[in-house]
Amino acid sequence: MGLNASLSTDDPLMIHLTREPLIEEYSVATQVWNLSQVDLSEIAKNSVLQSGFDVNKKKSWLGEKFLDGTPDCFDMMKSNVSRIRYTFRYETFHEEMEYITAHCTQPEQTNFP
């Protein structure tokens, strides 16, 4: 659907049933939503992007140019997500933003005393 989804653990000592709560999250997501390996890879990439890890760690996991935000910025060999998938997400986002901008109206200015 184009949503920037990620997975993480929440209170792993109270909620999870295994010693590997993050693996458990990915396993459950795979079964519930019938996700492919590429889907899981994209979710993992999003999780890294949204994490609080420092930029150098993110560069080592996603590629040196990950901050550019273009389809070419991610290293496919590191993220296991194809360039065509990045391109689709990038183009769809920009088309949606153009649509919103074109159809968004400014509220009329009202002069209040």
pLDDT in tens, 46-77: 888 888 999 999 998 888 888 887 888 888 88
Residues in the chain with pLDDT < 50?
Answer: none
CA distance 41 to 101: 31
Question: What is the SS3 assignment for 72?
Answer: coil
pTM of the model: 0.71
What kind and span of H or E run contains 3?
Answer: none
CA distance 30 to 46: 16
- The per-residue pLDDT for 56 is 94
List the one residue out of 47, 49, 46, 50 whose CA is nearest residue 59.
Answer: 49
